[in-house]
Amino acid sequence: MIITPVRRWMEPNFPNITYWREMEKGGHFAAFEQPELFVGEVRTFFRTVR
């Protein structure tokens, strides 16, 4: 069973989360299931850490 992480559960253990978005589509293998959305998310994340 795969449990989708919830931000409020993750923040206490990982206080330096810089980007978080819950997607409507895709799953564990998002890069194969929704490649366009995955690439968009990777690009959006890296814009925050430039």
Q: Is the pLDDT of residue 39 over 90?
A: yes
The answer to whether residues 50 and 43 touch, using CB atoms and an 8 Å cutoff, is no
Amino acid letter for position 37: L
Question: What was the pLDDT predicted at 23?
Answer: 80
Q: Is the pLDDT of residue 3 over 80?
A: no
The answer to whether residues 14 and 26 touch, using CB atoms and an 8 Å cutoff, is no
Token pair listed for 37: 């959305």
Question: pLDDT, tens digit, for every residue of 18-29?
Answer: 888 888 877 778
Q: Which among 47, 45, 50 is positioned nearest to 21, based on CA atoms? A: 45
Give the percent of the chain with pLDDT over 90: 46
Average pLDDT, the chain: 87
3-state secondary structure of 8: helix
